[in-house]
């Protein structure tokens, strides 16, 4: 299955690599960034506002982070394509999810690469190493977990990017709502939420959920890889279209086995 699905895209990549050197192509991927100043912020579990903290979020506390910039949005399909066309990024597996051990063709419908009208959706079905390669090509890097969280929640230790208020029925984020439940019989989703989106939405579609720094979709849409983790498993932050409100909390952590490519996971870059 892997070879069949990837064949045409490999051919396209070879074509670009052989005939299309675009030294300025990285400018195509230039994306708006928000500047986060140096200083102290409350990161990790803030039990005063969040009764759902899990063990790996504890203990919370005040952390000093140096100044950095982070992409305003998740990296889009169009931005990733610019890197592919420059010969610096791979398309391997972008149409075929994997849990890190086995391919999951039954989930191929969730992947945005090479589907029509997805240019402004987040690139997904991508593994951690490919995300690292894209950020390097963009002269950036993956954010650390602390940087990601600082950008998502500001300095005051809030529970979600927008504050401490619970997720609204017509929410500030794309999560596993009734749209997913209604359109994927036998699937999953929560009837009390209605964000109108089955899987991913174009980046920045939920401005009511913007973080205090101006970063968008820090809750939901796709999980985002961060630099933390090890060769066996990589940390992800922010929850996704396939998850429930507990995962939209800014201090929540999830982990991907190395090699995992899922429709619910993408990334953004920092510098």
Structural contact between residues 259 and 125, judged by C-beta atoms closer than 8 angstroms: no
Smallest gap from Cβ 177 to Ca ion, in A, equals 4
Pairwise CA distance, residues 229 & 258, whole Å:
10
Residue 197 interacts with Ca ion (CB under 5 A)? yes
Residue 177 interacts with Ca ion (CB under 5 A)? yes
Pairwise CA distance, residues 143 & 148, whole Å:
6
Q: Is the C-alpha dihedral spanning 166, 172, 173, 178 positive or negative?
A: positive
Residue 167 interacts with Ca ion (CB under 5 A)? no
Nearer to Ca ion, 86 or 151 (CB): 151
**Which range in 2-10, 96-104, 195-203, 243-251 contacts Ca ion by CB under 5 A?**
195-203
Pairwise CA distance, residues 19 & 256, whole Å:
36
Q: Which helix (H) or strand (E) holds 106?
A: none
Cα distances (Å, whole numbers) of residue 148 to 116, 219, 237, 267 = 30, 11, 8, 10
Structural contact between residues 130 and 90, judged by C-beta atoms closer than 8 angstroms: yes
Q: Which residue shows structure tokens 């933390």? A: 228
Pairwise CA distance, residues 172 & 189, whole Å:
16
Residue 221 interacts with Ca ion (CB under 5 A)? yes
**Which range in 38-46, 80-88, 153-161, 192-200 contacts Ca ion by CB under 5 A?**
192-200
Residue 172 interacts with Ca ion (CB under 5 A)? no
Encoded tokens for 13: 């990549």
For Ca ion (CB under 5 A), the number of binding residues is 8
- Binds Ca ion (CB under 5 A): choice among 97, 209, 238, 263: 238
Residue 264 interacts with Ca ion (CB under 5 A)? no
Nearer to Ca ion, 137 or 241 (CB): 241
Pairwise CA distance, residues 117 & 199, whole Å:
14
Nearer to Ca ion, 157 or 209 (CB): 209
Nearer to Ca ion, 130 or 215 (CB): 215
Nearer to Ca ion, 65 or 179 (CB): 179
Smallest gap from Cβ 191 to Ca ion, in A, equals 12
Q: What are phi and psi of 98, to 5 degrees?
A: -145, 145
Pairwise CA distance, residues 45 & 56, whole Å:
9
Nearer to Ca ion, 113 or 241 (CB): 241
Nearer to Ca ion, 83 or 218 (CB): 218
- Binds Ca ion (CB under 5 A): choice among 76, 79, 172, 174: 174
Residue 235 interacts with Ca ion (CB under 5 A)? no
What's 161's DSSP letter? T
**Which range in 6-14, 123-131, 148-156, 196-204 contacts Ca ion by CB under 5 A?**
196-204
- Binds Ca ion (CB under 5 A): choice among 85, 95, 217, 252: 217
**Which range in 24-32, 44-52, 150-158, 191-199 contacts Ca ion by CB under 5 A?**
191-199
Closest CA to 216 of 73, 53, 35: 73
- List residues near Ca ion by CB under 5 A: 174, 177, 195, 197, 217, 221, 238, 241
């Amino acid at each position: 299955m892997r070879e069949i699905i990837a064949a045409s895209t490999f051919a396209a990549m070879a074509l670009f690599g052989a005939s299309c050197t675009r030294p300025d192509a990285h400018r195509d991927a230039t994306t708006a960034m928000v500047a986060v100043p140096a200083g102290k912020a409350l990161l990790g579990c803030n039990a005063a506002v969040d009764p759902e903290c899990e063990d790996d979020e504890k203990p919370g506390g005040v952390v000093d982070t140096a100044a950095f910039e982070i992409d305003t949005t998740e990296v889009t399909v169009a931005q990733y394509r610019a890197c592919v066309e420059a010969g610096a990024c791979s398309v391997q597996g972008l149409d075929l999810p994997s849990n890190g051990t086995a391919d999951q063709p039954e989930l191929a419908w969730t992947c945005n690469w090479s589907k029509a009208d997805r240019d402004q959706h987040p690139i997904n079905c991508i593994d951690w190493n490919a995300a690292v390669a894209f950020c390097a090509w963009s002269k950036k890097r993956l954010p650390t977990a602390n940087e990601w969280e600082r950008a998502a929640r500001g300095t005051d230790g809030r529970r979600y990017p927008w504050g401490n208020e619970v997720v609204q029925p017509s929410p500030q984020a794309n999560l596993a709502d009734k749209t997913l439940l209604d359109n994927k019989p036998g699937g999953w989703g929560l009837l009390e939420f209605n964000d109108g989106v089955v899987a991913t939405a174009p980046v920045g579609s939920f401005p009511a959920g913007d973080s205090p720094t101006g970063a968008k979709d820090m809750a939901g849409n796709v999980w985002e890889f961060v630099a933390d983790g090890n060769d066996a498993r990589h940390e992800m932050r922010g929850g996704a279209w396939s998850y429930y409100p507990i995962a939209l909390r800014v201090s929540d952590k999830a982990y991907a086995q190395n090699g995992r490519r899922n429709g619910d996971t993408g990334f953004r870059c920092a510098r």
